[in-house]
Structure 1
Amino acid sequence: MTAASNQIKSTLWENKQEYPLTTETLKMLLEHRIPLIRLKEFATPEECEMLYAQSQLLNFNAYQDVSPKIEKVGITVFEYNSISKGDYFKEVERATKLRNSITAASFNPLERIMAKFRECGAKVRIASEPSYGSYYAGLIRKIEHGTQIHIDFAPLEQSGWEVCTITAQLSWTLYLKLSPNNHGKTCIYDRLWQPSDEQYKLDSYGYSDTVIADADAIAFQPYVGDVLLFNTTNFHYVEPMHGQRVAFTSMIGLLPNGEIIFWS
């Protein structure tokens, strides 16, 4: 890690607070200078309930080789990276039509978040491959049993895909349904992934807690209708919910030319 990176890292958690989405805070989040952006009341309770109700008409599928179990509607590059790029893009049209049928009967969070980014002056689009076309974006996901400590960073995980050319990665999550028990927090550590951390990899995605020893952290409580954005190259995990925790989410990446791309 460079001296500049260390300086950014050292100032990241001086003020443990959530920030609104602005042109400046988006830049700061991409540069690891703040831990978290929250868009309060991004969607109404009625909109969230409609989208949740539509999702319950569908079959949720569990990620393969991921423990604890995580279920979702939609497809991910993560799953197809070990299969093939061609198979992923064969599924994009079907998955996109299904997503559009759900959002048409409720509302489209993906279009809304991309519009919010454009209001901040960002040039945004869905990720694409020259030989294949657009990626899929927009999972409806249940993380109710928690996760392992992990990071999400396409340059590490998706070599040979357009998304592996990004220089920074975020995720955004809109919470649709939550059991009222104040569980299911996401904990983000003041610890950026480094190549040497691969020695602590446990399985398809999880890492030993050795990587976050003595690292400072912030935990945020999800609320229905809010969107949370954070930098996924910080180690993080979700605590078990002991109930329902259903959300709409995708990845976000910054390209070297300044464009921002969305994908799942």
Structure 2
Amino acid sequence: MATWKNLQEHDLTRENLVALLNNEIPAIRIKGFATPEECAVFSKAAKSGNVKYYSVAKKIGYIGQAQYEYRWNPDKSEYFKAVVEARKDLNDVLSRSFDPVQRLIEKLRAVYPASVDVASEPELGEYYAGIIRLASQGVDMHVDYAPLNTLDYAISNIDSQLGWNFFAEDPGVGGLTTVHNAPWNPERKEGEIPQSYGLDRSLVEGAPNFTYAPTAGDVVIFNTRNPHEISAGAAGADPTKDRVSIGSFIGRMPDSSLVLWA
């Protein structure tokens, strides 16, 4: 069922952030989040960092660690061990540029009435937050929603999930993100995690959608329970540029606090 009240981008305010958490608007854009000089140094540092690649058809480079990759692992400590190494790779990039994750946290704290911080797991420590991606070939339609994607982690207690991305470099043409207002509510079976990547297009048939461009220097935030996809760079794109971003998820916990993880 469609829930958006309009099909527009909105500025970051307390009211708009709550509306996005409630899936009432399609997106928030923070224009001029970083200067052109900051974008250039971040992009250069990311491209020369420890880039790995997901095992999916479209080539997606990344630096960092996704909790989703450990969704089936009953020993949560394995994920938090991986977090330590992932932070080293991230800090290598940040040490040569700047920290978009902390900057985003501060901007959220300035408008949100409850606490905002990196998520943590009792007795195991902080989650990883801030995956760098190079995704000029696009990303297939998928959803991200921890209560359905993840078993037995603290983040499964959230009631809303957003995703934010800071774009340090864009291809100029293509690389667009399309979000479909068809909140994911799959049939669930006890102890199983439903497929959430490479979704069938019938799930979004007839649903309103919103498409945004990855403009370098900006942050865009949207509700990731809605199916979303990224188009590949198109003809006419600058061959010397990639779609370089860093981002994470933002979840609302039962006490209304916001927590970040990737």
Structure 1 length-normalised TM: 0.89
Report the alpha carbon displacement of residue 75 of structure 1 after superposing the two structures with TM: 0.5
| Alignment partner of 1:103 is 2:94 | yes
Given candidates 102, 122, 145, the residue that maps to 1:130 is 122
Alignment of 1:56-205 (within 5 A): 56-64=47-55, 66-83=56-73, 84-121=75-112, 122-181=114-173, 183-196=174-187, 205=197
- Structure-2 residue corresponding to 1:247: 245
**Number of equivalences:** 251
1:51 to 21, 33, 42: 42
Which residue of the other structure, out of 219, 222, 233, is the alignment partner of 2:225? 233
Equivalent in the alignment of 1:31: 22
Q: Secondary structure at the match of 1:100?
A: helix
Of 74-83 and 22-31, deviating more is 74-83
AA matched with 1:153:
Y
* Deviation digits for residues 116-170 of structure 1 (CA, Å, limit 9, x no counterpart): 0110034111111112111111111012221221110011111101111110000
Deviation at 1:26, TM superposition (A): 0.2
- Runs of 4+ with deviation above 3 angstroms: 201-204
Q: Provide the identity percentage.
A: 36
Contact 1:63 1:79 in 2 (8 A): no
SS of the residue 2:10 aligns to: coil
For residues 22 and 161 of structure 1, what CA distance do their matches in structure 2 show? 30
Q: Which has the higher helix share?
A: 1
Question: Aligned partners of 1:137, 1:228: CA distance in 2, in Å?
Answer: 16
CA distance in 2, matches of 1:104, 1:16: 38
Q: 1:82 Cα shift?
A: 3.4
Deviations 1:190-246 (A, max 9, x none): 211112399xx9966221101011111111111000000000001111111255111
Cα–Cα, structure 1 residues 147 and 56, in superposed 2: closer, same or farther, change >3 Å? closer
Question: RMSD between aligned alpha carbons?
Answer: 1.9
State the distance in 1 between where 2:230 and 2:38 align.
24
1:104: how far off?
2.4
Query: What is the one-letter code of the residue matched to 2:197?
Result: Y
Tell me the amino acid that sits aligned with residue 245 of structure 2.
Answer: A
User: 1:3 — aligned with what?
Assistant: none
SS in 1 for 2:207: coil
CA distance in structure 2 between the partners assigned to 1:212 and 1:67 by the alignment: 22
For 1:110 and 1:53, the matched residues in 2 are separated by 17
Give yes or no for contact 1:171–1:251 (8 Å, CA) kept in 2. Answer: yes
Unpaired runs of 5+ residues, structure 1, are 1-5
Residues 11-30 of structure 1: pairs in structure 2 closer than 5 A: 12=4, 14-30=5-21
Find the residue that maps to 1:98 and give its secondary structure: helix
Correspondence for 2:212: 220
Q: CA separation of 1:69/1:202 partners in 2, compared to 1, >3 Å: closer, same or farther? A: farther
CA contact (8 A) 2:46 2:132 kept: yes
So what's the TM-score if we normalise by structure 2? 0.90
Gap runs ≥5 in structure 2: none
The one-letter code sitting in structure 1 at the alignment partner of 2:152 is G
* Contact kept in structure 2, 1:175 and 1:224, CA below 8 Å: yes
